[in-house]
């Protein structure tokens, strides 16, 4: 078979620039060694997130010109409804401005009493925050293998089904609100959840009368992994796998900024529960907007209606995941410890192993992050103890089970050459890893500190 290149060609370019090393050293120092505070124009290759950073197609841009900005009943709403029904297979949907907008509307409806548990393989940070703001308690029940970067497991995003059922039995089903299946599981490395595991979750949910809600940000990437790694799915169409996955749930919240391939957008979708839909539809009005736009313009909805159809194309997914595998393999070949196998949207470097001399409370992954910017103008993001924060009661720094540096790849934006720049830079840092030092705070805000904190090297 011939080697395949990207299934698209470049029609428009956006210049990027590598500023000199001296300036990079100065800029990162000026912002207190916090990459969130850098100006984007001072970054050469931006791997902060895959959220809202994708490149839209000519077909999506053409759709933007067809935006119908009517306050109610925009034609783009109906086009999006058709995409949702065709691809996700759910009857009802409500647009929202992004994923957390959907969580903000749906979760208070689902959490009936203060203190109820919300059970997930792993909550994303904003998802956990919304559960807690609504009076719920977020519980993560992902399999143990997820926390060992060296153990090869095809579905590290899976629920530990024994723990899930054990938890419900121990705490009592009346104290549980609902189940969230995060596909793919971002926080442990963009790791997929198998169809078998999703079915297992559904079986337990049915037994106890709990609803299953997907956090569907990277649903197409999850389906691609099922096709590649799960017996019985190798010859199925991606869209059929997606529909089967979602058939085991009652609804979803989606950040469409990932697999919707749009710069802004989200939704709630409901399989068939008319009552849940009706409440969501009325609650969206004061929070996000009228139900036929929910915080989105007509043109945004059209771009999303089209993005959902593009993301399920197998050539696209093969190229997308292939690029991440390529970057991961280059790092593995150099001996750099990463979460294995690589996930769907990012390579996660295991910085506990990268620089074991730096303790968790001096933020090893942040140290590698800062060095990567200095080395090559690449912006990555720390997912470890810096992000985790302090115990709200004792004020003590919490120790994250993993200290990860996430190299998050935007969709259809960078080429293999960019991946090589990132790999070469990290390999250089790897060679001098013993010289890396930890960080301490010079300014530490109380809430979501990692976005605005300032640090200095120790
Ligand atoms: N759920 C998951 C699994 C996510 O990864 C995100 C966002 C959200 C929900 C919230 O969606 O940003 O549209 O409000 N993740 C981004 C990231 C921010 O960088 O991983 P949102």
Q: Is the pLDDT of residue 282 over 80?
A: yes
The whole-angstrom separation of Cα 373 and Cα 315 is: 32
Q: Which is catalytic among the residues 160, 215, 250, 300?
A: 215
Q: How far is the CA of 100 from the centre of ligand 1 (A)?
A: 7
What is the model's pTM? 0.97
Bridge partners (DSSP) of residue 131 are: none
The pLDDT, as a whole number, for residue 2 is 80
Q: Indicate if 450 belongs to the active site.
A: yes
For ligand 1, atom 11, which residue shows the shortest CA distance?
99
Q: How far is the CA of 88 from the centre of ligand 1 (A)?
A: 19
pLDDT in tens, 111-152: 999 999 999 999 998 899 999 999 999 999 999 999 999 999
The pLDDT, as a whole number, for residue 180 is 98
pLDDT in tens, 7-62: 999 999 999 999 999 999 999 999 999 999 999 999 999 999 999 999 999 999 99
Residue 213 contacts residue 106 (beta carbons within 8 Å): yes
Is the distance from the beta carbon of residue 187 to the nearest atom of ligand 1 less than 6 Å? no
Q: What percent of the chain has pLDDT over 90?
A: 97
Q: Indicate if 90 belongs to the active site.
A: no
For ligand 1, atom 12, which residue shows the shortest CA distance?
99
The whole-angstrom separation of Cα 403 and Cα 380 is: 13
Q: Is the pLDDT of residue 103 over 80?
A: yes
Q: Of ligand 1's atoms, which has the minimum distance to the CA of residue 218?
A: 3
Region 322-334: mean pLDDT is: 97
- pLDDT category, 1, cuts 50, 70, 90? confident
Q: What percent of the chain has pLDDT over 70?
A: 100
pLDDT in tens, 226-237: 999 999 999 999
Q: Indicate if 215 belongs to the active site.
A: yes
Residue 167 contacts residue 117 (beta carbons within 8 Å): yes
The pLDDT, as a whole number, for residue 393 is 86
The pLDDT, as a whole number, for residue 420 is 98
Bridge partners (DSSP) of residue 214 are: 181, 252
Q: Which of 282, 280, 257, 283 has its CA nearest to residue 269? A: 280
Q: Indicate if 117 belongs to the active site.
A: no
Q: How far is the CA of 80 from the centre of ligand 1 (A)?
A: 21
Q: Indicate if 348 belongs to the active site.
A: no
For ligand 1, atom 1, which residue shows the shortest CA distance?
124
Q: How far is the CA of 226 from the centre of ligand 1 (A)?
A: 21
The whole-angstrom separation of Cα 118 and Cα 133 is: 12
Is the link from the previous residue into 343 a cis peptide, with omega within 30 of 0? no
The torsion defined by the Cα of 208, 214, 219 and 224, in degrees rounded to 10, comes to -10
Q: Which is catalytic among the residues 44, 77, 124, 439?
A: 124
The pLDDT, as a whole number, for residue 391 is 87
Q: Is the pLDDT of residue 240 over 80?
A: yes
DSSP 447: S
3-state helix, strand, coil split of the chain in percent (to 5) is 45, 15, 40
Q: Which of 116, 93, 90, 245 has its CA nearest to residue 178? A: 116
Is the distance from the beta carbon of residue 76 to the nearest atom of ligand 1 less than 6 Å? no
The pLDDT, as a whole number, for residue 69 is 98
Q: Of ligand 1's atoms, which has the minimum distance to the CA of residue 266?
A: 13
Tokens describing residue 315? 């050539």
Domains of the chain: 21-50+314-457 (3.90.1150.10), 58-311 (3.40.640.10)
Region 334-353: mean pLDDT is: 97
Q: Of ligand 1's atoms, which has the minimum distance to the CA of residue 185?
A: 3
Region 272-294: mean pLDDT is: 97
CA angle at 294 for the pair 292 and 300, rounded to the nearest 5°: 85
pLDDT in tens, 157-174: 999 999 999 999 999 999
Across all residues in the chain, what is the average pLDDT?
A: 97
Q: Indicate if 418 belongs to the active site.
A: no
pLDDT in tens, 390-437: 988 899 999 999 999 999 999 999 999 999 999 999 999 999 999 999
- pLDDT category, 301, cuts 50, 70, 90? very high
Interface pTM (ipTM) of the complex?
A: 0.99
Region 331-347: mean pLDDT is: 97
């Amino acid at each position: 078979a011939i080697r395949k290149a990207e299934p698209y060609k470049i029609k428009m370019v956006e210049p990027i620039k590598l500023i000199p090393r001296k300036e990079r050293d100065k800029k990162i120092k000026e912002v207190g060694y916090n990459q969130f505070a850098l100006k984007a124009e001072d970054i050469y290759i931006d791997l902060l997130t895959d959220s809202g950073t994708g490149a839209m197609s000519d077909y999506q841009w053409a759709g933007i010109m067809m935006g119908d900005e009517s306050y109610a009943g925009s034609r783009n709403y109906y086009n999006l409804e058709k995409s949702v029904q065709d691809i996700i297979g759910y009857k009802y949907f409500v647009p929202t401005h992004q994923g957390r907008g959907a969580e903000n509307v749906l979760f208070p409806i689902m959490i009936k009493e203060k203190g109820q548990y919300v059970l997930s393989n792993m909550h994303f940070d904003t998802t956990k925050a919304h559960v807690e703001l609504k009076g719920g308690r977020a519980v993560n029940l992902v399999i143990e293998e997820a926390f060992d970067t060296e153990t090869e497991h095809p579905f590290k995003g899976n629920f530990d089904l024994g723990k899930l059922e054990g938890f419900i039995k121990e705490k009592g089903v009346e104290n549980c609100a609902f189940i969230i299946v995060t596909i793919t599981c971002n926080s442990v490395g963009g790791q997929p959840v198998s169809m078998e595991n999703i079915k297992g979750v559904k079986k337990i949910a049915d037994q106890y009368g709990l609803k299953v809600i997907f956090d569907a940000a990277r649903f197409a990437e999850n389906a691609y992994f099922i096709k590649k790694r799960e017996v019985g799915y190798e010859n199925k169409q991606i869209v059929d796998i997606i529909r089967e996955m979602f058939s085991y749930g009652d609804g979803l919240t989606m950040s469409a900024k990932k697999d919707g391939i749009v710069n802004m957008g989200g939704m709630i979708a409901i399989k068939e529960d008319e009552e849940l839909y009706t409440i969501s539809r009325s609650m969206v009005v004061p929070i996000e907007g009228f139900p036929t736009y929910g915080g989105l313009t007509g043109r945004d909805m059209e771009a999303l209606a089209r993005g959902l159809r593009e993301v399920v194309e197998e050539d696209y997914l093969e190229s997308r995941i292939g690029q991440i595998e390529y970057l991961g393999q280059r790092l593995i070949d150099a001996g750099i410890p990463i979460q294995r196998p690589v996930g769907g949207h990012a390579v996660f470097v295991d910085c506990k192993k990268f620089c074991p001399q730096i303790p968790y409370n001096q933020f090893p992954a942040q140290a590698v992050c800062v060095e990567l910017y200095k080395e090559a103008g690449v912006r990555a993001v720390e997912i470890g103890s810096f992000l985790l924060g302090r115990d709200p009661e004792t004020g003590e720094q919490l120790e994250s089970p993993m200290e990860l540096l996430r190299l998050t790849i935007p969709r259809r934006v960078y080429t293999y050459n960019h991946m090589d720049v990132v790999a070469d830079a990290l390999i250089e840092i790897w060679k001098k890893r013993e010289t890396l030092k930890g960080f301490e705070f010079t300014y530490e805000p109380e809430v979501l500190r990692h976005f605005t904190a300032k640090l200095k090297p120790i």
